[in-house]
Amino acid sequence: MPIDISAPFTLPCGTTVKNRIAKAPMTEGLADPMNRATSRHETLYRKWAEGGAGILVTGNVQVDRRYLERPGNVVIDQNGGQDELRAFAAAGTLNDTILLMQIGHAGRQTPRRVNPRPVAPSEVALALPESAFGAPRALSSEEVEDVIRRFVHVAKTAKETGFSGVQVHGAHGYLVSEFLSPLANRRDDKWGGSLENRARLLREVVQGIRAEVGPEYPISVKLNSSDFQTGGFSYEDCLQVVKWLEEDTVDLLEISGGNYENPAMMMGGRGADEIRATTIAREAYFMSYAEGIRKATNIPLMVTGGFRTRTAMDAALEEGNVDFIGIGRPMCVDTDAPAQLLSDPDGKAIAYEQKIKPSKGALGWFCLNIIRHADGMEPDRGMTGEQAISDYLVNEENTAAALVGRKLD
């Protein structure tokens, strides 16, 4: 029997997923001024759970309210919010959906409006012109240990409040990914230098979570196939790290790439000529990396970035180098994109077509449409890039201004 997107799959920990489509993690920006989950998460995740995906990965939930990826992130520390998380989890697990909470620390990619002095492995600022990000200070070794405890605490809370599993955000240039990168991590203690040392934070986070949640609770990791930067975390590094993550009993690896300096996650990395050689890779730009990763590890693989048609999804599954198809941007518009795909064996494209160019406020366009769903509205398919830029900025400034209960360094 050929495998296609409708086939169930059982993760190593024993959890069975009803099909092969996973909503990729996407920041929601819907928390209240105390960074607790709200009824807007419930509304949004109910729609997504009704939309047919086997897995929903949440947007990144933060371990430390001083270093957010965005002012409206959910934070889990000692400040309550458990009842709201329970309601969020109940909505996102409707319809036999597996709901993974993505856990992250923004590191030096914390926006200046959240904190002008973020933390990082080393004092290396982002190489971005007119940076919206402050220069970071280096974490002390004790503070790195504290970060690990915080990840474990969030995972424990996820399990207690009804999330089906967790995903550690080790990609896209946030703190864990910064530790992996020789460009951002210039440390000479046990957290820097060799790949073994650079991967120590990620591995200790995963090992700590496993010890806390037990063998039957799904743990996923999102990892870059490469940062696509000279001297950064490379594909060869990735191939070694995935072997270690298998020893650490990871159940699902989501493959992506890039960071804020080089946003390959949205459009593919450098080396695009080489990776566009096959039809599947033309659509899903990290698939050719999955082939090598498949040879390096037995961890089930999810690949995210560019997948749009059932034809390419089924072909990628049938080729055998991927187990789950990650879908991000289409889900901001058509929350039922998985159901549409599953009921369309002829392979026509997902209804949504991207009309916004990356430079024209695209991220804001998708974020604002997520918020519209959370507020019970239909998506605004005709929103212009200019409108998205200005509305998104206002939304972020207002959310940042409303934040309470934070004490910055």
Ligand X SMILES: Cc1cc2nc3c(=O)[nH]c(=O)nc-3n(C[C@H](O)[C@H](O)[C@H](O)COP(=O)(O)O)c2cc1C
Query: Could you list the residues that contact ligand X (CB under 6 A)?
Result: 24-27, 59-60, 102, 169, 171-172, 222, 256, 265-266, 304-307, 327-329, 363, 366-367
CB of 305 vs ligand X, minimal distance in Å: 4
Q: Sign (positive/negative) of CA torsion 280, 231, 140, 261?
A: negative
Query: Residue 111 and residue 183: Cα distance in Å, rounded?
Result: 20
Cβ proximity to ligand X: between 192 and 364 the closer is 364
Pairing of strands 252-256, 301-304: parallel
Cα atoms in the Cβ-side hemisphere of radius 13 Å centred on 383: 26
Nearer Cβ to ligand X (148/266) = 266
Residue nearest to ligand X (CB): 328
To ligand X, the closest distance from the beta carbon of 108 in angstroms equals: 16
Task: Compare residues 21 and 49 and give the one whose CB is closer to ligand X.
Answer: 21
Residue 107 Cβ, how far from ligand X at the closest point, in Å? 13
- Rounded to the nearest whole angstrom, what is the least distance from the CB of residue 48 to ligand X in the complex? 13
Q: Cβ of residue 394: shortest distance to ligand X, in angstroms?
A: 17
Nearest CB to ligand X, comparing residues 21 and 138: 21
Q: How far is the CB of 188 from ligand X (least distance, A)?
A: 29
Q: Which of 233, 231, 241 is nearest to 259 (CA)?
A: 233
Q: 147 or 176: whose CB is closer to ligand X?
A: 176
* Minimum distance of ligand X from residue 93's CB (angstroms): 19
CB of 1 to ligand X, least distance (A): 27
Kindly tell me which of 190 and 348 has the beta carbon lying closer to ligand X. 348
Measured from the CB atom, the residue of 9 and 365 that comes closer to ligand X is 365
Which is closer to ligand X, CB of 27 or CB of 229? 27
